[in-house]
Amino acid sequence: MTKPLSRVLLISTGGTITMTSGPGPGGIVPTLTGDDLVKAVPELAQQAELDVLSYSQKPGASLTLEDLVEIARLLDDGFARGFAGAVVVQGTDTIEETAFVLDVLVAAGRPVVVTGAMRGAGAPGADGPANLLSAVTVAASPAAAGMGTLVVLNDEVHAARYVRKSHTALTSAFASPGFAPLGRVIEGRLRLQARVPQAPKLARPERVNHCPVALVSTVLGDDGRLLAALPGLGFHGAVIEALGAGHLPASHAAIVAQLAQTLPVILATRVVSGPVFTSTYGFAGSEMDLISKGVLPAGELSGPKACLLLRLLLAQGLQGEPLKQAFAALRDGFSSGAK
């Protein structure tokens, strides 16, 4: 007797995977719906019973945190209706951010897979169809349950907490710096080499657009004036992408100390791989100096992911010490490694 196919919810938001050439000499733009994507890959019918929702036709750079909160709600509603897994299709510009937010907000333990494409639908060697087929294959697999949100492109399966876009053009653009893919799709099925525990969860906030957080990257010779200006610009929090293991110029130390008395400040690193240190360097502007002044280390979270997490916590109404404790607990939960 043939085993029934898993029911998978597919939500399309736009992105390169949906883009074709517009009229005239201009570049490619989002034109395809979720139904269009599915019709182009008949093999999907052998992997899952799909229910398709075209949420939007936006480039990845135009998605908002409000969009992601609503998509998280749609996913939880779908799981409550019995879907075994879900696929979110979007632009690759912000896949690592979308996957991270959904990892935090989607309560169900069923697979959520985010995918997209590096080449437009009409390009020679377009990777969208293969990525979509692999994503649905993973979302329909019982083996993918319990690991939270995953990113699937180029037949590789990445954990939301680790994945980064590492190239602007290659179809192999996505990687997990310092780690590795959790598995791959080979011969039409998911082959896992490692698992990660499900991420800690947050309740979906009702509003997130009232909690702006600045993300400031540091460069050689920076004089710190942007950091000093943040409170006057209306920001409710700040994430600093520091140098190395969490270091700023010595001249920044007093600025950061004053800033941390005004709003929550997270110390991340602009380095692609590795955590922010907490107890090695002691010079002015080092991680130990900054932490002693009230700054909270981001651990292994990238600057953008730390920024999104802080926005979500602020949207919960958290401030002061409760916010710091909540951020630290979530940060440490994401640091749980692959097994």
Structure tokens at 4: 């029934």
Q: Which residues contact 106 (CB under 8 A, 6 or more apart)?
A: 72, 75, 76, 79, 112, 148, 149
Any idea which residues carry the catalytic annotation?
A: 16
Q: CA-CA distance, 73 to 107, in Å (whole number)?
A: 9
Closest listed residue to residue 129, CA positions, set 54, 55, 49, 36: 36
DSSP state of 140: T
Q: CA-CA distance, 1 to 8, in Å (whole number)?
A: 21
CB 27: neighbour CB atoms within 10 A? Answer: 8
Q: CA-CA distance, 166 to 151, in Å (whole number)?
A: 14
Q: How many residues belong to the chain?
A: 339
Distances in Å between the Cα of 116 and the Cα atoms of 131, 176, 197 are: 7, 17, 24
Q: CA-CA distance, 42 to 39, in Å (whole number)?
A: 6
Q: CA-CA distance, 334 to 200, in Å (whole number)?
A: 7
Q: Which residues contact 270 (CB under 8 A, 6 or more apart)?
A: 217, 218, 241, 242, 243, 303
Q: Is the dihedral of CA 263, 239, 111, 64 positive or negative?
A: positive
Structure tokens at 160: 């939301």
